[in-house]
Amino acid sequence: MLKEKMEKALNEQINKELFSSYLYLSMSAYSQTLGLPGVASWMKIQAQEELTHANKFFDYIHERNGKVTLTAIDAVDNEFGSVTNMFKKVLEHEQFVSESINKLVDISIELSDHATRSMLMWFVDEQVEEEASVQDILDQLAMVDAKGHGLFMIDKDLSTRTFVDNTQAK
């Protein structure tokens, strides 16, 4: 059974994951307006991934006989300037999520909640991958000054991403 402090923090994380999904969906829409269908597809898949993360927390709370409490999702930006600026915002957001996951781990340690800590380690590893992936895209954008044929090639490369629900593996 989850302790109240852990349950509350996990519910807050569900909200953050749903916000993340909403944010990336907004970025997908914005990318379409920039004529970057590959970036739009990458962002839409990112939105799907964040939704699966929310569901993983949702299911875990129930598995531990907790109560899921959904709250309002804050509004997201709809304008991001340039593709580089947008990916910088993605990196900042993923760093925010990493910090949030780390705080959840801290709470699980404080409460000696080893089961939750074990589950959260999946997210710790996932966040390392998320940040590295976005940093790689930012590095590529910097190499081509985010324009011309280079941007076209990056957009084409990002269009090859497919959605894989990796939350099912334990």
**Mean predicted confidence (pLDDT) in 161-169:** 85
pLDDT tens digits, residue range 126-162? 999 999 999 999 999 999 999 999 999 999 999 999 9
For the stretch 11-23, pLDDT in tens is: 999 999 999 999 9
Give residue 170's pLDDT band: very low, low, confident or very high (50, 70, 90).
low
Provide CATH code, domain 4-164: 1.20.1260.10
Q: What angle do CA 28, 24, 9 make, to 5 degrees?
A: 170
Whole-number mean pLDDT of the chain? 96
The reported pTM is 0.95
Using left for φ > 0, alpha for ψ between -120 and 50, and beta otherwise, residue 164 falls in beta
Segments making up each domain of the chain, as ranges:
4-164
